Every structure is written in structure tokens, then in C-alpha cells.
Structure 1
């Protein structure tokens, strides 16, 4: 009966907003008011936050019901959904726009704030966790997710439909996982600020659980995003330093620095400020990343079109940084007052400063700083409207000869828009990556013995030097046959060093785990296996991602198709392929432009270099108007090879999806653009179908590494949650 009565307010609120959506803003406003009350007054904080969380989640659930029920009289549903979509995609549109994602993040933050207050971890006069949740709830209220659809929009179309790029199963996981990671990271702000002030005697177990969960779900969200990107022409590969990816990478590194500083943390210990500063910076990186996603200055494939809430997120991030600075100044005396006592206790217990973990923190912080500087530099250049160097405009000279009029003006404007320079980032990030591998490997071998640490580090450095003197494995293997520009050549030696550092890290973690297990047996499994899996997973993912990106290669084909199976085309990678069938027709699939879209399913047959056979279908979906000037296959080739041009010509109603062969040694994409064939059928022009074959070696190492990383991270996160529950039971008994 108790659980039923506790759930009654939320159930009643869900029904109320589901039947009368006009009550949605009212309930959300009440939730914001309760959160503000909880932020300012400790009296009644627990019930106020609990009720606020229930009301916010009721709004989320009710909004999901409106999507599932095709309630297009709501503007948010009209903008992103369609009656033709399957139910899971309708509900997934809940986080397809700014209104829904902000509402969900506010609900998550309110739930975490209520939990923190409920276990007695938020007794201060002012609750920062409640204030953050209130600000996000206020932003969601301003965005008006329950607003009514204008009558002229409904008269124009029953709904706008879903962005075709989002109509994939990864949509169900990528966005909500990232949002959950954002919420857990924001929950670190309050305890980290207390730590900077010197108030906390030790780091909260609940905060450590939040940090581990944030790391876990953010890594999983990034992994699903990589799978998504690998199947989309606007990306075409797992990572390309899109501004939003760069911002999330900063957050991931800051969480890594934070977690590497938790062990043995205490006020006054050496480098004690680094860990809480990393937590505060990670929390501030969340609204800043959301601001990057919504700000139109930089070119991005993650843009929330028409979103204007970036100022609210920017203000939250700036406020967290200002408060952190004030807390750090206020806590200067705390470190001096406790340092001597902490040092005496550390000597008595045989503890020493974790120098290896401190160096790992520095590597993580350095990587985050490099990415942040590049992001800020690009943003500053965009705000100042500085001209982009010609080196950043691949294909522009050729495309300029093929376009005219307004299309040419739009093309030039698109290539003038700034984004993050991935080559500069790689040049500066590979050194921290190599350093992280060397520090981590030495740290694990050093825990086996001093001799093992010194000898293994010497061998790793000799391996890096010897590989560089020989010319480098990757450097010598690079043939310049891929989609990267020749700017990558300058960073290949550092890439070799990073790969050796990653291998040293993995070997160190495995050797240390084997050593501990041999000495302590099964009782040590829970303490060593997750850490070994995490670090081996990071190394494998690093190897797979770097090798696949640097050593990729492609070939392009023009294949004549007259209705029957085409002639076989031979690829220099050893593949023979032909187009067996192209089925063209209208697509009433619920995506944007469904009224005028054309869809082509191309059946492609492939014979592999080892005699294996592969067949499957590629998808082409296009709701765009014909180009002003037909230019044969060149435009399609540029679109398949350069994500910047694909982003320029792409629209929410356009989609190109490849056939992918995921193998152990390499992953192969077969991209088919039958636009010319479709044009020939409708009389607007014709030509051959374009097929591009992209080969990414060792991509399987990336996926295996991510799975190992997630396995170890989940183990630690779940064990931490059990510890928090045991501590809570002990406190109440």
C-alpha cells in the first residue's frame, strides 16, 4: 500500500496531462517552484524534491504517450513525428528535439537531487543540485513542449515527420544514454564544490557511484553513436571531431581525470584539488556541450535545427565555473590546515601519494584542455567571421565549377563556416595519449614490483624510439588511399607512439591482474578484473579507432544499370560486385518529406577476396529538389567521400545507408548512390549508379575494446551501488 500511495501522485499527473495537455505547463511550473523552494530552504527539502521529480517525470511520460497516440495538435509532436512511424520510433522522438531532451534532463536531475537529499547528503542551507534541476526545468518550461500546433501548420500538413537520419535502432539508445550521463555528471557539482571548499572530510560514496555511472553510460552512448555514424553518409566513419563530439570528448576526459583521483582522496593530500576541480569542470562541460549542440556558429552534423536555448545552457555552465572559482578561493586555508595531519596519518598507515594516478589525471586533463582550446578557437574564428583557410575546403574548387547561381552561393557559405580542425587536434592529442599509455602501464607494472615498473617502462620507451627510427609501423603502412587528406602524414609518427603506449597499458593491466590473482586467488577477482578489463578495453579501442581511421582506403565505380543485373566490377581491394536490382518507388515511411520522397532499395552482390559471398540491400531516400545543374557522378562522389559536403547537401528528408560487412580483420562499406538511375527513370536526367567501397582495417578491435570497457565499467558501477545501499542500511539500522 505504501508503494502504491507513493506512486499515486505521479500516476494521477500522467493521466491528467495525457487527457488535457494544457495541464503540462502548469505541473512543470509547480515542479520548478518546488525545486526552487528546496534549493533555498532545507526545511521540507526531501518531500519537495520528491514531489517535483514525480511531476517532471509525469510530464515526460505523458509527452511520450502523446507521441505514441499521434497527438499532432501538440507542436512538438507535429514537428518530429508521423502516423506512419512504428511505435518505437514515435516514442524515440521524445528526445528528438530541444524541448524533449531538456525536459528529460530536468526530470533526471530532479530525481537525483531528491535521492541525494533523501540519504542526507544535501543538508546545507543552499542546494546546488536542486538549483541546477530548477534551472533546467525552467528552460524546459520556456521551450514549451506542450504548446499547441498553429492551425496553419495543421492545414499545411498533418505532421512534419521524423528526421530520416534518426530512423535507426541506435536512436533508441544513443540520446537517452548521453542524457543520463549528463544528469549523473551534473550531480557531481555539489559534492565537488564542497570538496574545493575543504568541507568534505572524504569523498562521498554516492558521488563516486554517480561518477562511475556517468562514465559507463557516456561511454555506451558514445559507442552507440559510433555505430550510428558508421552507417550514415553525413558521417561515414566512427569519429570526425564534429564540434559536439569534441565537447563530449572533453566531458569524457574530465570524468576520467575525476575517477583517477578518487582513490585515497582527502583534503590536504598532494594534488587534492585536482579531483574536485575535474568533477566541477565535468559538470560545467554538460551545459556547455548542450550549448554547442544548439548554437549555429559552428558547422555540425548534430545540430538541433532552430533551437535557441543555447544561452540558457551557456549561463548555467558559466555560473558553475564562477561558483567553483569562489569555492576554491574560500578553501585555500583548508588544505594548509589539514596537510600536516593528513601526511602524519598517511605515513602511519603506510600510504604514499598515488603519483601514477596523478600523472594519469594530468594526461586526461591535458587531452580535455587540447580539445577545449580547439573548440574555443573555432568558435572565436566563427564569431569574428575570419576566413577559413583553403586547406579546410576539400572539393570546393571542383564543385565550384559544377554549380551556379544560388546553389554556388550556398555552397561557398557552407564551406566558409568554421568547425573543429581534426588534424590539429590529432597532432596535439596523440602526445597525451602516448603519455597516458606509458603512465598507466608503468603504474600497473610498478604495483607488481619496482624492478618490473622500471624495466617495463624502459622497454616501452625503447620500443617507441626503435619504431620511430625504423620508420614506424603505421607510417610505413600508410599509402594515402583513404578519405583523409595528406595532413595526416605529419601526425603518423605520434600515432605509432600512441599505439605502443596503448599496448603497454593493456599488458600492464593484464600482468598486474594475473599477479594479484595468483597471490590472492578468487577473493581478488572483484577488485582486479574490472580494472584490467577497462584499461585493456581502452587500449584495444584506441588501436582499432586509430588504425581504422588512418589506414582506411576507398575505390569508386560507375556502374551502368539498365534494369537487369549489371556487369561485374572488380575492386582493387579484391572484391567483385554488381548491382542485381534497383527498386524505386514512393516511400510513405513517416520521415520528413514523405509526400514527395523517392526511395530506392538497391540489391548488391559481392564476391570477397577469399571467395566469400555477400549480398544485401542499400537504402537511398531523397526528398530534395533537383540540383540547379546536373553534373553527372562528381557530386555524388564528393558526397560519399567528404562528410562536410554530405552535410551541406543533406536534409532531414535525405538518407543514404550502406551495406556493411563487419569482419575481424576489416570492416567494409558498400555505398550505392542510384540518384542518376532514379533521374533517368523520371526523365530528369540519367547516368550510371555510383558505388564507393570503403575499407577500414582492424575496426573489430574498436568494438571489442568498447565492450571490454563497458564490462569493466558496469562491474565497478554496480559494485559501488551495492556499497552505497549497504551503507544506507547500516545508517538506518
Structure 2
């Protein structure tokens, strides 16, 4: 949008176009076709490129605004609005549906990419004959045109129902933040392709400052989007935890790591220097992963909790990724004979080595995740059977199902996804988890004092090695009372080693901060603090995530409930709980499947270990037909403990949301599955058994606190006023 604000006529164009498409939605497709023509012209011709991109950005954002107006005003004659919205939804969820489907998501991403391309064209005095940034934007807006976000709703659909409604899993406030943040990060990452390709060609100019800014913004916004996604997943039975290596999560993790490798290569970079191609390759590969992640989201081959059901645009995104990759190979081939730049004498060779090793660790982590994703797709293509250890609840559930339901269950468990256990094992080995902590700790200790680094590194290596052999907090604290695969239990000592190396990393950051205070006073601290916040926050988040995941614990209770408050039940986590009521109502919330469905709030009282009394409630929403509902407590427990089975049973009209008690030292989920009671009361019965599962996650607050600290530091570097200090430690004079 920065390009639009520089030209007031483009603002008027955007307002008029938005008004026209808002009044006459049938104009949306011709306007998008005009955007395609303008962006293609801008991509191929330098002359008038800035003007064409500015106008196309105005028209693209006009379409976004008009589509948002159609959602807000319940214009169900627009097919996209009919598919994802409902008149009963609150306004914020109606607007959030703008990015609830493939059509709107692609349109919004295209508008973001066009704006970035326009901003770059306005800054550039002489642009290349072919603008990769504009070409990428053209491809995306062409895909959006093909998806037809303004197409008319078929009359038979409108006769069937006024609208289809919103996916129940999306009816949360996190929908307002998670998706748009990820899309903004996608746009900034795609914008790295152009400077990266120029660098791979061997142009003698230094790495553009614009690439550093975009990479920093992409990384911080992507991290924020992932954080909101973690909050979302933690409150949904289809996930139940902050991370589980879903195929889409795995693809985005690759992007995050490649951006990290790219950001650690700016210091002292120049064309022709040793390993000079690594950083632009990391940037262009990060850009390649964006359309690949979008393709994974839209491709039905792998089992995933992230899915645009019925979307078939994944081919377009695969083609875009292939074109970018081929362009990078061609650019690298063209720049292979660039003469090396003579470097002046410097005493910072060891520091450059440290940054290079960190890049290797990030690239290694991305390669591990990408390899597992490719293995899953390859196994699906070859129709290979999944190993039995990937189906922990199948044998138990097979005894409860028959006929078509059993066949569907077996098919769901045979569908491949990413082997998260394998990814966890490989990441927990010395490379990259332990290595990043040791290298980072040594690097910052070296920035503080060469003597401190020389003394501390051998001690840290000894502590980490001893921890890897004998174990530490995770190994000693593990009691087998939670949901954790034995494949991960076997590598708990290596995870402990990762915690120890992370502690060394944090101590190194602290040592450098103190050294900066001693050398330069408050000025040195202000320059060092954002970098320290990023790395120390990352360590805290890692500690919190590993402790919460490895030391989680759960208990389950079956409570007879007939509508009256039950007796107090003592949980071994120190809680006493009882159910006090169940409020049932027909579904009129605007979600999918409102006909014949039920909306239930189970009221619960908790007496915490400290004696505090807490009132809360959990949400149960179900639009499935009675034969598909649960007929016993065992199924409900399996759903709450295994996200694979929860993913199989979940539909767009089903939702189970827990009561979360967030504490400093532990976070507790109270999952209540009242399906049997709801069916009994609906049929005129007196109630039944309610399943209550209590899951605790120690030190999860460290994850949220670490993310906030890390985001604060990285946002300061990414969005500060250019040219006002804040250089990375490797780029500042000593």
C-alpha cells in the first residue's frame, strides 16, 4: 500500500473501482483481468513500470476492499461469499472470511505482491528488462482471476440454502491475525527472489539494503503468524497442542529456516567472496518454498489439518515454484565465473566462520524438514503402506467400528503425512539443535571477549556432551504420564543437550550485552539489545516448547451427568473439578451445518491446588448425523489424545474447545466431551457419561514469553527508520 499513498490519483482510482465492484460484483472479474494486463506489461517493459504497477496495485486493493464489503453486507449472490459466510456471523468473522478460502487468499497475496513490486519500481532508477517481482505478482493475480472470486452463485445453491456457513474450526479471533500475517510474510519472502537472482548472476553491486529489510520483515511477520497459529491449535481438538509437524507446518518451517540462514549472511557479503552464493541461494529457496507451501495446503494427497477443501490451484503454485527454481539455477550458472573480491586484512575471520556455521545449521534444519515432506509425497505416489507405529490407536478403534466406517478409518490412517517423530529425532541430534546453541553462545562470548569465548566453549561442550550421555531435566522429569511417542522418549537426552546448549547461547547473549554496556554505555546497550532479545527469546521459546511437549501429563475421568451439579472429582494434578450445567441450543452461529446440529456449553468449576475457585466453560459444537457421533467414551478419549484420529472425525461443522488455565509454571487444558449426554438429553433421556480429559503442559509460559521477546527485538530491527543504527552485531565496527 506504500506505493498507492505516493500517488493520490491512484488512491482515487482505488476508491472508484472499489465502489463500482461493491455495487456491481460482476465487474470484479473484468477489473482483475485489467490488473493482469497491467502487471504483465510492467513485468516485461521497464518503461512506465512504476505507473503500471501503482495503478494495478490500486485496482487489486479495490477488489480486496469490494470483496470485504460483499462479506460484510451478506451478498450471497457472490459465490465466494456463499461458500464461506453466513448472516448469523459477527462482523469480524465475516470480514475474516476474506482469507478463508483459496480465492480470497490468492487475491490478497497478489495485492500484497503487486504493492511490493510497485514500491521497488518507484525506488529503482533503472530496472531490469524483466522484473521477477512483477512477474510473480502477475502469476498470482492470473491465478486469482482463474479462481473467480466474484463469480455468481449458482441458482440451485441459493435454492438449497441461503449460504453454506463458516468452517467451525475457523470461528475464532485468531483467524483475524494468523492468516493475514502469514500471507504478508509470504509476500515479503517472494519479493526476495529478484535481488537474490541479481546476486546469483554475479552483479558487482553490494547486496541491496531492500533485501535485508524485506527478509527481516518476512521473518518477524512469519514468526508472529506462526505464534498466532500455535495459540489457535492449542485450543482446538483437531490439534490439541502447539505443533505437530503437519505438512503445511513443515513447509512453513522450511521457509522460516531459510530466512534465518539468509539473515545470518549479510555481514561482509560481496559478490565473489568465499561462499558468496550461499546467502542469495537461501533467499531464492525461501521464495520457492512459498508457492510450494501454498500447493501443500491445496493438495489432498497428504493428511493435513490445513486444507482448502476442493481447491485445485496447487498445480499453478507448483509451476511457479518450478519456474523460480529454474531461474535460480540459470542465474547461478551465469554467475559461476565471477572474479573474487580482494578482502582487506581483518581480525574477524572467526566471527565470519561462526555466522557461516549458523547458516549451515539453518540450512540443515530446512533440509531435514523438506526431506521428510518429500518422502511423504513420494511414499504416497508409490502407494507404500505406512508403518504400524504411525497408527497408535487404529487397532483399538478397529474393535469399535464395522463396515463402511471401518474402511474409512483404515483409509484415513493409511494416508501419509510428515513423520514428525523422524523430524524431531533428526533435529534433536547434534546438528542442528545442539550446534546452533554452541555456535551462537561462542559467537556472542567472542563478541564480549576472546578470552571468555576460549574458556567458556570447552566447558559448554563438556556440559552438553555429559547431558547427552546422562540426560537432564527432560530425561529426569519424564514419568510416562503424558502423550509422547517412545521414539521421542529415546532421544530425550539429546533434547536435554539442546536445552543445555541453549542455556550457553543465552549466557553468551548476556555476556555480550554487559560488554556493550561497559564499552559504550547506554548507546551500546540500545544497539545490542534488539539482537540479544531475538536470540534470548528464541532460547526461552525453545525451552518452553521442549519442556511442555516432553513433560506433558494427562488424566481422564468419566463423570455421570444428569443436568445437575456433580460431585467433586479429584485430579492427580492437584485440581478438584465438577460439572455444574450444560446449556444446549440449536446451531444458529453461522457455522457449517446449522440444520439439525447442536451447540453446547458445559459449565465447570475448578478448585486449583492453591485453593482458588475458578468458573469456566467448554464449547461443544456438532452438526454431524447421529450415526456418526460417538457411541462410547473410548472413542472420545482417542480423539482427545491423538490428533490423527481427531482429524479423521472432525468435519467443518464440528468443534470441541477446552477451558485453558494459564499459569506461570504450568498450563492446563480441561477437555469435556459431552456427546453422549447431548444425544441423551436431545432424545428425552436423563443424561449419561461425560468424558473429561485434563492435560498439563509445564513451563508453556516460557514459549509465549520467549516469542514475545523475540518478536519485540526483531520488529525493532525490521521496522525501524532506515539508516538509524541498529546494525547487526557482525556488521558493526568493533
- Range class of TM-score, shorter chain: over 0.9
For the 8 Å contact 1:430–1:498, the answer to whether it is kept is: yes
Name the SS for the 2:205 alignment partner.
coil
**Structure 2 counterparts to residues 535-554 of structure 1, below 5 A:** 535-554=535-554
Show the counterpart of 2:358: 360
CA distance in 2, matches of 1:714, 1:204: 20
1:225 has 2:229 as partner? yes
The Cα shift of 1:203 comes to 1.1
1:333 has 2:332 as partner? no
Which residue of the other structure, out of 406, 413, 416, is the alignment partner of 1:415? 413
CA distance in 1, matches of 2:487, 2:79: 46
The Cα shift of 1:351 comes to 7.1
For the 8 Å contact 2:560–2:566, the answer to whether it is kept is: yes
CA distance in 1, matches of 2:279, 2:689: 58
The Cα shift of 1:70 comes to 0.3
Show the counterpart of 1:204: 208
Which residue of the other structure, out of 260, 278, 283, is the alignment partner of 1:256? 260
1:159 has 2:160 as partner? no
1:692 has 2:693 as partner? yes
Name the SS for the 1:342 alignment partner.
coil
1:621 has 2:621 as partner? yes
C-alpha spacing 1:688/1:328, structure 2 compared with 1 (3 Å): same
The Cα shift of 1:4 comes to 4.2
The Cα shift of 1:353 comes to 6.5
For the 8 Å contact 1:587–1:594, the answer to whether it is kept is: yes
For the 8 Å contact 2:623–2:654, the answer to whether it is kept is: yes
For the 8 Å contact 1:46–1:118, the answer to whether it is kept is: yes
Name the SS for the 2:543 alignment partner.
helix
CA distance in 1, matches of 2:223, 2:269: 24
What do the CA deviations read for 1:8-58 (whole angstroms, capped 9, x no partner)?
A: 111111011101111111111111111111111111111011111111111
For the 8 Å contact 2:240–2:643, the answer to whether it is kept is: yes
For the 8 Å contact 2:630–2:636, the answer to whether it is kept is: no
For the 8 Å contact 1:403–1:628, the answer to whether it is kept is: no
C-alpha spacing 1:630/1:518, structure 2 compared with 1 (3 Å): closer
C-alpha spacing 1:596/1:260, structure 2 compared with 1 (3 Å): same
The Cα shift of 1:484 comes to 1.8
Name the SS for the 2:518 alignment partner.
helix
What do the CA deviations read for 1:159-192 (whole angstroms, capped 9, x no partner)?
A: 0000111111100000000000000000000000
Show the counterpart of 1:729: none
CA distance in 2, matches of 1:499, 1:718: 31
C-alpha spacing 1:682/1:194, structure 2 compared with 1 (3 Å): same
C-alpha spacing 1:60/1:628, structure 2 compared with 1 (3 Å): closer
The Cα shift of 1:82 comes to 0.3
C-alpha spacing 1:128/1:587, structure 2 compared with 1 (3 Å): same
1:672 has 2:676 as partner? no
1:716 has 2:683 as partner? no
Show the counterpart of 1:50: 54
Name the SS for the 2:656 alignment partner.
strand
CA distance in 2, matches of 1:681, 1:33: 60
**Structure 2 counterparts to residues 52-91 of structure 1, below 5 A:** 52-91=56-95
Show the counterpart of 2:291: 287
- How many residues get paired? 718
CA distance in 1, matches of 2:418, 2:304: 9
C-alpha spacing 1:286/1:721, structure 2 compared with 1 (3 Å): farther
1:120 has 2:118 as partner? no
**Structure 2 counterparts to residues 568-717 of structure 1, below 5 A:** 568-627=568-627, 631-683=631-683, 687-717=688-718
Name the SS for the 1:606 alignment partner.
strand
Length-normalised TM-score, structure 2: 0.96
C-alpha spacing 1:122/1:554, structure 2 compared with 1 (3 Å): farther
The Cα shift of 1:359 comes to 0.6
Show the counterpart of 1:524: 524
Show the counterpart of 2:492: 492
Q: Which runs of 4+ in 1 moved over 6 A?
A: 348-353
Show the counterpart of 1:381: 379
CA distance in 1, matches of 2:60, 2:98: 14
Which residue of the other structure, out of 422, 427, 430, is the alignment partner of 1:429? 427
For the 8 Å contact 1:578–1:606, the answer to whether it is kept is: yes
Length-normalised TM-score, structure 1: 0.96
C-alpha spacing 1:467/1:16, structure 2 compared with 1 (3 Å): same
The Cα shift of 1:2 comes to 8.5
What do the CA deviations read for 1:379-417 (whole angstroms, capped 9, x no partner)?
A: 111121111111101111111111111111111110000
CA distance in 2, matches of 1:659, 1:403: 30
For the 8 Å contact 1:444–1:508, the answer to whether it is kept is: yes
The Cα shift of 1:487 comes to 1.7
C-alpha spacing 1:221/1:126, structure 2 compared with 1 (3 Å): same
For the 8 Å contact 1:632–1:687, the answer to whether it is kept is: no
For the 8 Å contact 2:43–2:134, the answer to whether it is kept is: yes
What do the CA deviations read for 1:200-243 (whole angstroms, capped 9, x no partner)?
A: 52111111111110001000000000000000000000000000
The Cα shift of 1:477 comes to 1.3
Which residue of the other structure, out of 311, 319, 325, is the alignment partner of 2:323? 319
CA distance in 2, matches of 1:351, 1:387: 50
**Structure 2 counterparts to residues 170-249 of structure 1, below 5 A:** 170-249=174-253
C-alpha spacing 1:223/1:121, structure 2 compared with 1 (3 Å): farther
C-alpha spacing 1:629/1:581, structure 2 compared with 1 (3 Å): closer
The Cα shift of 1:723 comes to 5.7
The Cα shift of 1:101 comes to 0.4
Show the counterpart of 2:388: 390
For the 8 Å contact 1:175–1:221, the answer to whether it is kept is: yes
The Cα shift of 1:717 comes to 0.7
CA distance in 2, matches of 1:200, 1:215: 27
Show the counterpart of 1:405: 403
CA distance in 1, matches of 2:11, 2:183: 24
C-alpha spacing 1:275/1:630, structure 2 compared with 1 (3 Å): closer
What do the CA deviations read for 1:648-682 (whole angstroms, capped 9, x no partner)?
A: 01011101000000101000000001111111112
CA distance in 2, matches of 1:112, 1:490: 47
For the 8 Å contact 1:208–1:720, the answer to whether it is kept is: no
CA distance in 2, matches of 1:370, 1:632: 40
The Cα shift of 1:468 comes to 3.5
For the 8 Å contact 1:257–1:364, the answer to whether it is kept is: yes
CA distance in 2, matches of 1:189, 1:604: 52
1:169 has 2:173 as partner? yes
For the 8 Å contact 2:541–2:704, the answer to whether it is kept is: yes
CA distance in 2, matches of 1:94, 1:473: 45
For the 8 Å contact 1:205–1:720, the answer to whether it is kept is: no
C-alpha spacing 1:348/1:646, structure 2 compared with 1 (3 Å): closer
What do the CA deviations read for 1:464-491 (whole angstroms, capped 9, x no partner)?
A: 1232344432112111111122222112
The Cα shift of 1:6 comes to 3.5
What do the CA deviations read for 1:97-146 (whole angstroms, capped 9, x no partner)?
A: 00000000000000000000100176111111110000000000000000
The Cα shift of 1:626 comes to 1.9
The Cα shift of 1:537 comes to 0.5
The Cα shift of 1:463 comes to 1.1
**Structure 2 counterparts to residues 408-487 of structure 1, below 5 A:** 408-431=406-429, 432-487=432-487
- Structure 2 residues without counterparts, runs of 5 or longer: 726-734
CA distance in 1, matches of 2:410, 2:436: 41
CA distance in 1, matches of 2:265, 2:602: 52
C-alpha spacing 1:60/1:122, structure 2 compared with 1 (3 Å): farther
CA distance in 2, matches of 1:589, 1:101: 23
CA distance in 1, matches of 2:492, 2:264: 29
